[in-house]
């Protein structure tokens, strides 16, 4: 019988863990969000963060900017937040407007408050194997979820279907740190099934709703679904065709209710690092 790797219990544990750290270190934590305009996806993301923050006693401060706001003013705001000792983390929503240079903004965020791991200094640490700082959230959530369910990654054949800087590459570093053998597939990969069928654990982040049916897997496959898009019915779904693989593969994480459900909490947990390092 297929095991469903739901994140609910893990999320509940994370909430308690964050609250305990806040009480232990007597932290008055605050996250500052920078958002351009009122994009519905951004607002939904923001709502989720605020909902999680309410459960953990972390304050959320939203800085809403006009979509035509200048890069100069954005940099001034980031500098202000960098210097504000009451702010423990800065989150700038992406993608940025076309007139904003993303690389310049990434470099402007104080590495100590870069909870989303966008500053090149923090990225370089991840790619060099220094995993004690900020790590991109989706890869971290994927590995943490497996650890919660008792999976040992050592010597496992792991496949990542994504090669981006925010998922595929940092996830590879996390898996290598756990002594897994790692393969990466992408849009140019020929015969994807030849890779997915022989992997022990598959991490997919394609953003192609319900594309992966049971023909891609073996009965021993464990799939961590990081993908998110809308299916033919207009509902949010992952890359995995859950109905087709249920009672066939060994285990999978659902969408919703899997990796995405714990990224907000890991984001908020990152906010605490700034205050703890000051103690």
> Does 3 reside within a domain?
no
| pLDDT at residue 10, rounded to an integer | 97
* CA–CA gap between residue 261 and residue 259 (Å, rounded): 5
* CA–CA gap between residue 216 and residue 241 (Å, rounded): 10
| pLDDT at residue 44, rounded to an integer | 86
| pLDDT at residue 175, rounded to an integer | 97
Asked if residue 146 and residue 80 are part of one domain, the reply reads no
Asked if residue 81 and residue 185 are part of one domain, the reply reads no
Q: Model confidence at 243, in pLDDT bands (50, 70, 90)?
A: very high
> Does 89 reside within a domain?
yes
Final residue in a domain of this structure, among 95, 112, 129? 112
Question: Which CATH number fits the domain that encloses residue 69?
Answer: 3.40.50.10860
- On the question of pLDDT at 193 being above 80, the answer is yes
**Residues 18-66: tens digit of each pLDDT:** 999 999 999 999 999 999 999 888 998 899 999 999 999 999 999 999 9
Q: Which residue has the higher pLDDT, 236 or 255?
A: 255
Percentage of the chain modeled with pLDDT above 90: 91
- On the question of pLDDT at 279 being above 80, the answer is no
Asked if residue 66 and residue 167 are part of one domain, the reply reads no
Asked if residue 160 and residue 237 are part of one domain, the reply reads yes
> Does 237 reside within a domain?
yes
**Residues 111-136: tens digit of each pLDDT:** 999 999 999 999 999 988 888 889 99
> Does 19 reside within a domain?
no
Question: What's the whole-number mean pLDDT along residues 67-95?
Answer: 97
Quote the domain boundaries for residue 195. 137-260
| pLDDT at residue 261, rounded to an integer | 87
| pLDDT at residue 40, rounded to an integer | 86
Token pair listed for 108: 């402007």
> Does 200 reside within a domain?
yes
Asked if residue 81 and residue 146 are part of one domain, the reply reads no
> Does 10 reside within a domain?
no
- Of the candidates 175, 184, 170, the one whose C-alpha atom is nearest the C-alpha of residue 154 is 175
Asked if residue 35 and residue 80 are part of one domain, the reply reads yes
Question: Which CATH number fits the domain that encloses residue 239?
Answer: 3.40.50.720
> Does 272 reside within a domain?
no
* CA–CA gap between residue 115 and residue 112 (Å, rounded): 8
Asked if residue 231 and residue 152 are part of one domain, the reply reads yes
* CA–CA gap between residue 255 and residue 246 (Å, rounded): 13
> Does 171 reside within a domain?
yes
The total number of structural domains that make up the chain: 2
Question: What's the whole-number mean pLDDT along residues 196-201?
Answer: 98
Asked if residue 141 and residue 174 are part of one domain, the reply reads yes
Q: What is the 3-state secondary structure (H, E, C) of the chain?
A: CCEECCCHHHHHHHHHHHHHHHHHHCCCCEEEEEEECCCHHHHHHHHHHHHHHHHHCCEEEEEEECCCCCHHHHHHHHHHHHHCCCCCEEEECCCCCCCCCHHHHHHHCCHHHCCCCCCHHHHHHHHCCCCCCCCCHHHHHHHHHHHHCCCCCCCCEEEEECCCCCCHHHHHHHHHHCCCEEEEECCCCCCHHHHHCCCCEEEECCCCCCCECHHHCCCCCEEEECCCEECCCCCEECCECHHHHCCCCCEECCCCCCCHHHHHHHHHHHHHHHHHHHC
* CA–CA gap between residue 34 and residue 49 (Å, rounded): 13
Q: Model confidence at 278, in pLDDT bands (50, 70, 90)?
A: confident
């Amino acid at each position: 019988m297929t095991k469903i790797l739901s994140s609910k219990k893990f999320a509940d544990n994370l909430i308690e863990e964050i609250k305990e750290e806040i009480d232990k270190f007597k932290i008055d934590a605050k996250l500052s969000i920078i958002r351009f305009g009122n994009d519905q996806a951004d607002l939904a993301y923001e709502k989720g963060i605020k909902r999680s923050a309410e459960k953990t006693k972390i304050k959320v401060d939203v800085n809403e900017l006009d979509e035509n706001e200048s890069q100069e003013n954005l940099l001034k705001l980031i500098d202000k937040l960098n210097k504000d000792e009451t702010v423990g983390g800065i989150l700038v929503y992406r993608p940025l407007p076309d007139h904003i240079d993303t690389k310049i903004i990434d470099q402007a965020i104080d590495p100590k408050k870069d909870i989303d791991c966008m500053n090149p200094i923090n990225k370089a640490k991840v790619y060099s194997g220094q995993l004690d700082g900020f790590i991109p959230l989706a890869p971290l959530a994927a590995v943490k979820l497996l650890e919660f369910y008792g999976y040992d990654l050592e010597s496992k054949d792991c496949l990542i279907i994504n090669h981006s800087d925010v998922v595929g590459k940092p996830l590879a570093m996390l898996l290598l740190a756990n002594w897994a053998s790692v393969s990466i597939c992408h849009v140019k990969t020929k015969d994807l099934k030849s890779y997915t069928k022989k992997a022990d654990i598959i991490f997919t982040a394609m953003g192609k709703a319900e594309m992966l049916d049971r023909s891609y897997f073996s009965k021993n496959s464990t799939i961590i679904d990081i993908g998110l898009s809308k299916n033919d019915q207009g509902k949010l779904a992952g890359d995995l065709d859950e109905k087709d693989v249920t009672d066939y593969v060994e285990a999978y994480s659902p969408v919703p209710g899997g990796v995405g459900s714990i990224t907000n909490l890991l984001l908020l947990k990152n906010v605490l690092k700034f205050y703890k390092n000051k103690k």
